[in-house]
Amino acid sequence: MRISKYLILFLLFISFIVYVFIRVDGGSPSRYRLRTDDIQNEIDDPLGEDVDVDILPSNIHNGYVAKPIISLDSDIDNHLNLFRKNIMELAKLYNSTYITCRPNAKSQVALTFDDGPDETFTPIIMDILDDYGITCTFFFIGENIQRYPDILIRAQKSGHQVANHSLSHKRPTEISKHELIYEFESCNLILEEHSGEGTRFIRAPYGLLTIDQMELIEQSNLLAIGWSIDSMDWYTDKKDEIVESVLNPIHSGAIILMHSAGGNRQATLEALPTIIESLLQEGYTFTTVENLLKD
């Protein structure tokens, strides 16, 4: 009878230990893994909170997007955190088709300007670039090219790369893959009409694409260009914040997002000379995205 009593106590003890283990562990070891079972949903929804996107400079790789260092409102901060996680996943899946940077390009960086051309800010940006003898990549919108074809011609004659920012700047995640390809193909037709050539280099408005769209982009032999450094000139109108947003996270092979139209870009005009001069003093050279990826 005494043996049975001890046996019962022992079994109760073992049951308690198992219960505690299950409670602490959560019942599933997969809770600690990167959630990639449904990749399509991950593009529309955040990746697991355990994904580390704050990468040290020595470990920068394609897919890296620097975290903005300026003060942001909570909604924008959360949005950009999700954006960075989703871009990292896209670049993992399409490492040769979705590009945010070229880390092994020693001391080279690529300035890129979206949303042009226009007749107000884009020409002044070209004047600044001409003053320093450097080239950049302009991602132009097809409808804007039709309004200002002479700005396109000037960009090409100055040695800048002109790339495709879609026909009308629709948000890719709100349209179908076929609508998106139509946007890029239509912009290329306009580029060919006014400059004699199209381009493989595209940038999605707002940066993010879906898996279905990436599949079709890859099949179409297009190259989707993101960025590793966001100047935040779409968010702030303060010159110093734009400068800080570029200079603080700078790294070799960076693709830097700026804007040459699509709003008041006065702060961009004011920040650009400081950015160029500071990077030149640090030993960086400027090139186009196309040349950055060649070297």
Say how far apart CA 172 and CA 103 lie, in whole Å.
Answer: 27
Q: Which one of the listed residues 44, 114, 115, 233 is annotated catalytic?
A: 114
Burial of residue 11 (number of CB atoms within 10 Å: 0-12, 13-18, 19+): exposed
Q: Which one of the listed residues 165, 169, 194, 259 is annotated catalytic?
A: 259
Residue 58 has a pLDDT of 59
Question: Which residue's entry shows tokens 């879609």?
Answer: 166
Say how far apart CA 63 and CA 53 lie, in whole Å.
Answer: 9
Contact 202, 163 (CB under 8 A): yes
Say how far apart CA 38 and CA 229 lie, in whole Å.
Answer: 28
Contact 158, 129 (CB under 8 A): yes
Say how far apart CA 279 and CA 277 lie, in whole Å.
Answer: 6
Contact 124, 149 (CB under 8 A): no
Tell me, yes or no, if 79 is annotated catalytic: no
Per-residue pLDDT in tens (0 to 9) along the chain, 295 residues: 444 555 545 555 555 444 433 333 333 322 222 222 333 333 444 333 444 445 455 579 999 999 999 999 999 999 999 999 999 999 999 999 999 999 888 899 999 999 999 999 999 999 999 999 999 999 999 999 999 999 999 999 999 999 999 999 999 999 999 999 999 999 999 999 999 999 999 999 999 999 999 999 999 999 999 999 999 999 999 999 999 999 999 999 999 999 999 999 999 999 999 999 999 999 999 999 999 999 6
| Inter-CA distances, 85 with 67, 100, 161, Å | 11, 13, 29
What residues have CB less than 8 Å from 133, skipping those under 6 apart?
A: none
> Would you kindly state where each structural domain of the chain is located, as residue ranges?
88-294
Tell me, yes or no, if 130 is annotated catalytic: no
Domain spanning 88-294: CATH superfamily? Glycoside hydrolase/deacetylase (3.20.20.370)
Residue 106 has a pLDDT of 87
Contact 64, 55 (CB under 8 A): yes
Residue 184 has a pLDDT of 98
What residues have CB less than 8 Å from 116, skipping those under 6 apart?
A: 122, 138, 139, 140, 141, 144, 151, 260, 261, 262
- On the CB side of 231, CA atoms within 13 Å amount to 29
Burial of residue 283 (number of CB atoms within 10 Å: 0-12, 13-18, 19+): exposed
Question: Which residue's entry shows tokens 């039709």?
Answer: 146
Contact 183, 166 (CB under 8 A): yes
How many residues in total does the chain contain?
A: 295
Say how far apart CA 88 and CA 67 lie, in whole Å.
Answer: 12
Say how far apart CA 257 and CA 228 lie, in whole Å.
Answer: 8
DSSP strand pairing (255-259 vs 229-230): parallel
Residue 104 has a pLDDT of 87
Contact 92, 262 (CB under 8 A): no
Residue 295 has a pLDDT of 61
Contact 236, 267 (CB under 8 A): yes
Paired tokens of 29: 């070891």
